[in-house]
Each structure stands twice: as C-alpha cells, then as structure tokens.
Amino acid sequence: MNSVKGKVAAITGAASGIGLATAVLLARNGCHVAISDVNEQGLAETAETCRGHGVEVRTARVDVSKREAVHAWADDVAGDLGAVHIVINNAGVALGATIEDTRYEDFEWLMGINFWGVVHGTKAFLPHLKAAGEGHIVNISSVFGLIAFPTQAAYNAAKFAVKGFTEALRQELEVEGHPIGVTSVHPGGIKTNIARSARMVHRKGWVDPNSTSDFEKLFATTPERAAADILSAILKNRRRQLIGTDAVFIDLMQRLMPTFYQRILVAGARRRWRKMMLPANPTT
C-alpha cells in the first residue's frame, strides 16, 4: 500500500492514546476512518477532530471482547463506507497483580480484550480486506510481548499470544498470495492512561498505590510518535514495528540474553520488594 488517501481504516480503542493519535493521523492523510471504543465521550471527541480533516468518519460503541458485536460492526463499516482496507486492533487494558493474586475473572477480562479482541477484529474484517483486493492489518502487542515481567503475567500472556497470532496470520496470507500486509506492533512506554485505568491487586512487596505512578515514569514516547511509526509500518509493509528507544533496547536485550534478562529483572524486583517491605516509619 503506497498511500492511505481514499482508503478506509477501522480502529479499535480510538477514544484515547495510540488509537486516537492513529485515527487523527490517518484522517490527516486523507483516510476515511471507522472508530470504536467503549468510551463514547472520548470517541466523539476523536471523531470531531478527524472530521476536521474532511474525511468520512463513523463511530460505534463496541466491546471488542464480544464476537458478535465486532462482526456486526465490521459488516456495518464495509456496507456503509463501501470497503475496508486497514484494520488496527488497538483496544487494550492492563492488570497489575501476581499470578497468585490474579482472580480468574480479571484474567478472563484482560484476555477478552487484549487477545480475543485482536482475534475478533482480525477474523471479522479479513473477508472485507480480501474483497477490497488489498489491505493491511495492524495488531498491537507490546514490549511485554517480547519479555516477561513480574506482576504482568496476564498482560504478558495476551501480548505474547498476539505476537504469535499475528506472525502466523502474515505467513498464511503470504502462502496464499493475498496482497494484505500484517504488522505486529510492540510499543514501549507510551504516554497514555492505560496504567491509570488498570485493575490492580495490592499486595505488600509487589503492588501498592504507587505502582501506577512508578510505571508512568517509564512512559517516554508520545502517542503521536507511535501513530507515525504505525503509519510508516503500513506504508512500508513491515512485519514488525518497535516503538520507542526503550522498545529497541528491550528487544536487543532479549535477543542477546534470552534467559539472562530474567535475572536482571528479578534483581530489580527484589530490591523494590525489600524496600516496600520495610516498615513505614523504621526506628533507629
């Protein structure tokens, strides 16, 4: 795909963060957008900004964990806008808890959005991309789809799964000769509200009220930068896209130290655990 002008893109999780920035960037480049989210106010604000660039915009409240809802949305978008060329499965949530403390309900909630949302979006829109004769699917994984991290087992499981699912999809489409690109995107720390809206299970030594702010200190890349990298990946038909210098570093660390990196993370987590376990007002 040499240009997105005049194309139609469907984007999930478009009310904020990467989804919002990507929708606006695509609209600025002449791409019509169909955007969804469960946050209707944020979605309306994204839509207003996109319409300012003179493109067609459609909005829908869609829970990506619901298969029927996603398939119905895909059919509505294709029927209303005539075709779909780009799908960006971006919707995501976070959960901070040890495996022992993670409730099955929370695990299922996260997997329903972060993994099954990608599966639903891919399978619902793929027939429409084939009908259009060209297209591109972007599935948002994470650097946590490259390395594991304490208290992020559920998130790791979903994002590792997205990576494998996306790579297999691209290979299958290439075998059959379809002109549809597929990119697995691995953002590092992006300045979004995902940490603030995360579900947290507090446990002394692991997760506490400061955990969210501690994570946010690591967020260095703007959503706009992420959107620019995603658009570049589409136009250059990349198999994989790292976003942020931290993502590049983490990928290199995993390549050079595929198991030793875990020792490094354990050492850091142990120091933090010991610090958190100290009395609030230690006596001397």
The number of beta carbons lying within 10 Å of the beta carbon of residue 105 is: 9
Q: Which two tokens stand for residue 274?
A: 């010991």
Coil, helix or strand for 97? strand
CA 60 distance to own-chain centroid: 19
CA 229, CA 178: separation in Å to the nearest integer? Answer: 24
Q: 153: helix, coil or strand?
A: helix
> Which two structure tokens, joined as six digits, stand for 46?
């994204």
Q: Which residue among the candidates 73, 144, 155, 215 is catalytic per the annotation?
A: 155
Angle, CA of 232, 238 and 243, to the nearest 5°: 60
Cβ neighbors of 51 (< 8 A, separation 6 or more) are 27, 57
Please confirm, yes or no, whether 104 is among the known catalytic residues. no
Max Cα-Cα span within the chain:
73
Helix residue ranges, H only, the chain: 17-28, 40-51, 67-81, 104-114, 116-132, 153-176, 211-216, 223-235, 245-256, 260-277
Q: Which residues are catalytic?
A: 155
